């Protein structure tokens, strides 16, 4: 068995810090409603309807979190792709193989939790490769149109003039029964039943991705991240400080403008059965809102993490970010243990505002674990496995270890 010493590559601490912050947002999005990635029966929410804490938690999650952090994370994935392209050891074949391994990890994750995004990244990552030599202009136009969910805007516009028949009463009843059945599996089922129920949901997940347009939005952020990496916005961020400040103001004020428009529209036209034009308009405004707030988070957190007073936060976020894949998967593990029937079965039993507060101790535990792990090991455990399979040789795990080929 041949062994050679391989030193870990220099990392950009800021990008790791951004990954950590994105994972905090993802944790909030998932933990608030009990890590339930399937539909929730209406009667579950009824006992919380008049609770002010529930309303505040829902408003906070809906305005500031939902739809803003899978986009943030997707942007960073595209940025990582750009950085990998600069490596002398980078080849398209290796990246495709690396994506394939990620897809297998995502498939295993999907069997345990329906909200997995890694299997989506496998598919979207293959499409992103086609844009690797595209001009900056093409990347800007393509990313903007995809982030604004143009394919769905076109489809919804067509449906506005040629509406599809609403689901029949029988179809609605079947959907309700299906939703209730999955809820009961999460709530009462054992491990085998949970896995069995999640197998057909993999196809349902892709249906949702295309029907909602999330898969197009994800690709848009991949391409925007690719552009950012190509232009060295983060590798040489000092040179782009004014650019970041400019977009902080633009995205911040534009976000306030969108809210100022959307709230009165919702008050005056959102009661009762919403009109088709209202649904179209609010859907478009929501996508614009998510885009602007995602940009605001990216540039705002970048500026904050470079301040001396925020260096402690940068260090804490970066240890999570260095183990982003492990941290993402461990969040699911924690969520299943806390909320599912195979664990403490808290799903539906704890007010969402309490779940929101639970983000703090869970994330602190992740920071402590990541600090301990990285003080002893070179990579996170899942990152080590992913990297070893990518290069088909065991990578150094303990600090000072040698690398061994299979």
Asked whether residue 2 is assigned to any structural domain, the reply reads: no
276 assigned to some structural domain: yes
Q: How many domains does the chain have?
A: 1
Q: Is 322 a member of any domain?
A: yes
Verdict on whether the full-model pTM lies above 0.85 = yes
The pLDDT of residue 193 is: 95
Identify whether 1 is part of a domain.
no
Instruction: Pick the range with the lowest mean pLDDT from 109-118, 177-186, 283-292, 381-390.
Output: 177-186
- Give, to the nearest 10 degrees, the angle between helix 214-230 and helix 276-305: 30
Residue 303 has pLDDT above 80, yes or no: yes
Q: Would you call 144 exposed, middle or buried from its count of C-beta atoms within 10 A (0-12, 13-18, 19+)?
A: middle
Instruction: Give the pLDDT score at 202.
Output: 92
- Note the pLDDT of residue 402: 56
16 assigned to some structural domain: yes
Cα distances (Å, whole numbers) of residue 165 to 18, 195, 248: 44, 34, 43
Question: Whole domain around residue 223: which residue ranges?
Answer: 8-403
Share of the chain above pLDDT 70, in %: 96
Question: Is residue 5 predicted with pLDDT exceeding 70?
Answer: no
- Write the CB contacts of 17 (distance below 8 Å, at least 6 apart in sequence): 301, 305, 313, 314, 317, 318, 321
Q: What is the mean pLDDT of residues 93-103?
A: 95
In a domain, 110, yes or no: yes
270-278: long-range contacts (C-beta < 8 A, 24 or more apart)?
276/160, 276/163, 277/160
Task: Note whether 342 and 190 are within 8 A (CB).
Answer: yes
- The H-assigned helical ranges of 189-240 are 191-198, 201-212, 214-230
Average pLDDT over residues 5-28: 80
What tens digit of pLDDT does each residue of 342-367 get?
999 999 999 999 999 999 999 999 99
Given a contact cutoff of 8 angstroms between Cβ atoms, the answer to whether 210 and 126 are in contact is no
Q: 42 versus 284: which is more confidently predicted? A: 284
pLDDT digits (tens, 9 = 90+) for 174-187: 888 888 889 999 99
Which helix (H) or strand (E) segment is 404 a member of? Answer: strand 403-405
Compute the average pLDDT of residues 100-109: 97
Per the structure block, which two tokens stand in for 325? 């894949």
CA 317, CA 20: separation in Å to the nearest integer? 4
Instruction: Look at 102 and 400; give whichever has higher pLDDT.
Output: 102
Mean pLDDT of the chain: 91
Q: What is the pLDDT of residue 77?
A: 96
Mean pLDDT in residue range 283-303: 95
Closest CA to 26 of 86, 77, 93, 84: 77
CA atoms of 303 and 310, how far apart (whole Å): 10
Confidence bin at 6 (pLDDT 50/70/90)? very low
CB 34 within 8 A of CB 347: yes
At residue 9, the pLDDT reads 43
Question: Does 391 map to a domain?
Answer: yes
Provide the pLDDT for residue 11: 60
Find residue 394's DSSP bridge partners: 404
The answer to whether position 211 is within a domain reads: yes
């Amino acid at each position: 068995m041949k062994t050679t010493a391989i030193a870990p590559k220099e990392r950009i601490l800021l990008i790791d810090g951004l990954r950590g912050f994105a994972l905090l947002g993802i944790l909030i999005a998932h933990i608030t409603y009990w890590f339930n990635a399937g539909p929730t029966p209406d009667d579950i929410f009824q006992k919380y309807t008049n609770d002010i804490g529930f309303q505040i938690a829902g408003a906070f999650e809906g305005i500031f979190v939902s739809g803003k952090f899978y986009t943030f994370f997707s942007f960073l994935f595209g940025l990582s792709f750009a950085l990998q392209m600069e490596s002398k050891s980078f080849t398209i074949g290796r990246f495709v193989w690396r994506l394939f391994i990620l897809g297998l990890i995502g498939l295993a994750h999907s069997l345990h939790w329906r909200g997995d995004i890694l299997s989506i990244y496998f598919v979207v990552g293959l499409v992103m490769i086609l844009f690797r030599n595209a001009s900056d202009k093409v990347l800007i136009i393509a990313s903007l149109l995809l982030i604004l969910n143009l394919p769905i805007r076109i489809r919804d516009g067509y449906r506005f003039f040629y509406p599809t028949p609403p689901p029949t009463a029988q179809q609605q009843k079947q959907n309700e029964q299906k939703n209730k059945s999955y809820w009961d599996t999460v709530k009462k089922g054992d491990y085998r039943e949970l896995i069995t129920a999640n197998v057909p949901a993999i196809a349902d997940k892709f249906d949702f991705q295309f029907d909602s347009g999330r898969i197009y939005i994800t690709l848009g952020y991949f391409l925007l991240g690719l552009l950012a990496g190509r232009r060295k916005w983060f590798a040489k961020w000092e040179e782009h400080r004014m650019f970041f400040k400019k977009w902080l103001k633009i995205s911040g004020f534009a976000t306030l403008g969108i809210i100022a428009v959307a709230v009165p529209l919702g008050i005056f036209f959102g009661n009762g059965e919403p009109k088709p034009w209202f649904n179209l308009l609010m859907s478009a405004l929501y996508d614009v809102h998510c885009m602007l707030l995602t940009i605001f988070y990216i540039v705002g957190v970048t500026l904050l993490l470079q301040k001396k007073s925020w260096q402690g936060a940068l260090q804490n976020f970066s240890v999570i970010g260095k183990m982003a894949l492990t941290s993402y998967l461990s969040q699911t593990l924690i969520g299943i243990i806390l909320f599912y029937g195979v664990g403490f079965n808290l799903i539906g039993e704890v007010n969402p505002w309490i779940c929101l507060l639970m983000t703090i101790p869970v994330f602190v535990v992740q920071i402590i674990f990541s600090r301990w792990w990285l003080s002893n090991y070179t990579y996170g455990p899942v990152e080590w496995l992913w990297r070893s399979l990518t290069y088909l040789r065991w990578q150094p795990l303990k600090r000072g270890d040698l690398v061994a080929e299979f």
